[in-house]
Amino acid sequence: MTSQAHQPEVRAAQYLRMSTESQRYSLDNQANAIRDYAQQNGYSVVETYRYAGKSGVTIKGRTGLANLLSEIISGKCGFEALLVYDVSRWGRYQDPDEAAHYEFMCRQAGVRVVYCSESFGDDPAGSIMKQLRRVMAGEYSRDLSRRVSRAKVHLAEMGNVSGAACPIGVGRVEVNPDGSLGRLLLRGERKSRATQTVRHMRGDPAEIAIVRRIFRLTLDKNMRPSEIARALNKRGDTWIDGTPWTNQRVRHVLTCELLTGVVTFGKTTKRFHGAAIAKPEDQWIRRQAFDPIITKLDFRRAAGLRGTPGYRRHRTNQQMLDDLRLVVARHGRVSHSLIDRTLGPDKASNYYKRFGSLSNASELVGQPRITNRLGRPIGTRISDEEMLGALRALHAREGRISTGLISADRSMPSLTAYHKRFGSMRAAYAAAGVGFPKSEP
For residue range 71-83, what is the model confidence (pLDDT) as tens digits?
888 888 889 999 9
Average pLDDT, the chain: 80
Whether 309 contacts 254, CB under 8 Å:
no
What mean pLDDT comes out for the span 45-53? 80
Q: How far apart are CA 344 and CA 337, in angstroms?
A: 10
> Smallest Cα–Cα separation from 118: which of 102, 136, 106?
136
Q: How far apart are CA 39 and CA 25, in angstroms?
A: 20
pLDDT category, 346, cuts 50, 70, 90? Answer: low
> Smallest Cα–Cα separation from 261: which of 183, 206, 203?
203
pLDDT category, 306, cuts 50, 70, 90? Answer: very low
Whether 350 contacts 320, CB under 8 Å:
yes
Whether 240 contacts 257, CB under 8 Å:
no
What mean pLDDT comes out for the span 46-72? 70
The pLDDT value recorded for residue 235 is 93
The pLDDT value recorded for residue 340 is 78
Residue 184 has pLDDT above 90, yes or no: no
Q: How far apart are CA 376 and CA 160, in angstroms?
A: 56
Residue 2 has pLDDT above 90, yes or no: no
Residue 247 has pLDDT above 90, yes or no: no
The pLDDT value recorded for residue 205 is 93
Q: Select, from the ranges 149-163, 180-194, 237-251, the one with the highest average predicted confidence (pLDDT).
A: 237-251
The pLDDT value recorded for residue 81 is 92
Which H or E element spans position 106?
Answer: helix 96-108
The pLDDT value recorded for residue 19 is 67
The pLDDT value recorded for residue 373 is 57
pLDDT category, 244, cuts 50, 70, 90? Answer: very high
Q: How far apart are CA 431 and CA 178, in angstroms?
A: 84
57-93 CB burial, b ≥16 within 10 A, e <16: bbeeebebbeebbebbeeeebebebbbbbebbbbbbb
> Smallest Cα–Cα separation from 315: which of 354, 359, 284, 264?
354
Is pTM beyond 0.85 here?
no
What mean pLDDT comes out for the span 126-137? 79
